[in-house]
Structure 1
Amino acid sequence: MTAAQADLHIDRPSVADGAAFWRLAKESGTLDLNSSYSYLLWCRDFADTSAVARADDGTAAGFVTGYLRPDRPGTLLVWQVAVDPAHRGRGIAARLLDALTDRVAAEHTLSCVETTITPGNTASERLFTSYAARHGARVEREVLFGTGLFPDGPHDPEVLYRIGPLSRSAR
């Protein structure tokens, strides 16, 4: 681990992190921005399946939110991943994803990770395909929500990435 990586601590978020999650999502430039209220609720209700990377001063440098699918409790759906622009290029998103799935796997049976990615989001495509490679898993892709399903105007399709079965670390 490099000195730049050592200055971060990854843990469970608290409600107090909700505002920072909203800000990071807003500044990401790619994520769909949810209401600030939803990030507060997320940090309260889904803290066990989410993670925050904190800088030495305690500020949020990045986050990953997720939940265990009710109909597939061995599947962690990763909702959003964001890293503060000042902290990008240091592998924080990958560290967050690995730390979260390791923690969830230690507390639950975890066999699969899912996420959705819009076409052209190469940073997310790289993050999740490299995650699959590190964990010895296949990646299956299919359109989950087509453009026509979104009621609030033009929206790119959301492509489901199903990563599994997991074989290293996150099990």
Structure 2
Amino acid sequence: MTAQIRKIIETPKGRLRLRKPSKSDGSDVWDLVARCKPLDENSMYMNLIQCDHFADTCVLAEQDGKVVGWVSAHLPPGREDTIFVWQVAVCASMRGTGLGRHMLAALVERQVCKSVRQMETTITRDNDASWGLFRGFARRLGGDLSHAPHYEREAHFGGAHATEHLVTITLDAAADRKAA
């Protein structure tokens, strides 16, 4: 097994360990995402691939050996200055503790993100929790947040999914990221 990046954080609900996932975490991640409505569920195989192939840009949060949080992200090809966050999942018992923000901060502090100057994600207009997380993260970093429709209901989803807005957060120097 490759060396795992680990970070211990304190939350109002106890001590958590943030780390890179491994392929053995795939089914636990799949189960967590399934319990975090309204997140889109992927196949268990997809979560396994994320844990294995994209471990450097994903964050898993554990409490007493149980998976309680997950961030999946990747560096888009040819864009070393951008980290794209696919999903943030926090189990119901840990919501409101700042875990999502801590996982995003741990992600951008990693060596793999040393050249990253912006974070992107997509959010549907009605996902208040995600808007709150990313607006709060940008505010704590002193970064600018912008957004615009990106994957549109009719043009990209055949009318079967709400429009996803591309949210972009500019990130300051790495030293400032630790404040998040």
* TM-score normalised by the chain length of structure 1: 0.91
Where do 4+ consecutive residues of structure 1 move more than 4 Å? none
Q: Is 1:75 paired with 2:91? A: no
Residue in 2 that maps onto 1:99: 106
SS across alignment from 1:9: strand
Supply the distance in 1 between the matched residues of 2:21 and 2:151 (Cα, whole angstroms).
29
Supply the distance in 2 between the matched residues of 1:30 and 1:117 (Cα, whole angstroms).
12
User: Is this contact kept in 2: 1:64–1:80, CA < 8 A?
Assistant: yes
Q: Is 1:125 paired with 2:131? A: yes
**Among the aligned pairs, what percent are the same residue?**
35
Deviations 1:18-50 (A, max 9, x none): 111111111111111111100000100100000
Q: Is 1:18 paired with 2:26? A: yes
Supply the distance in 1 between the matched residues of 2:170 and 2:85 (Cα, whole angstroms).
14
Supply the distance in 1 between the matched residues of 2:119 and 2:29 (Cα, whole angstroms).
21
Q: Alpha carbons of 1:47 and 1:101: their partners in 2 closer, same or farther (altered >3 Å)?
A: same
Deviations 1:111-157 (A, max 9, x none): 00000001111110010011111111111101110001114x52000
Supply the distance in 2 between the matched residues of 1:28 and 1:54 (Cα, whole angstroms).
16
CA shift for structure 1 position 15: 0.8
**Which stretches in structure 2 are left out of the alignment for 5+ residues?**
1-8
Supply the distance in 1 between the matched residues of 2:41 and 2:10 (Cα, whole angstroms).
32
Supply the distance in 2 between the matched residues of 1:15 and 1:114 (Cα, whole angstroms).
25
Supply the distance in 1 between the matched residues of 2:10 and 2:44 (Cα, whole angstroms).
34
**Which stretches in structure 1 are left out of the alignment for 5+ residues?**
none
CA shift for structure 1 position 101: 1.1
Q: Alpha carbons of 1:48 and 1:5: their partners in 2 closer, same or farther (altered >3 Å)?
A: farther
* TM-score normalised by the chain length of structure 2: 0.86
Tell me how large the CA RMSD over aligned residues is. 1.7
Report the number of matched residues. Answer: 167
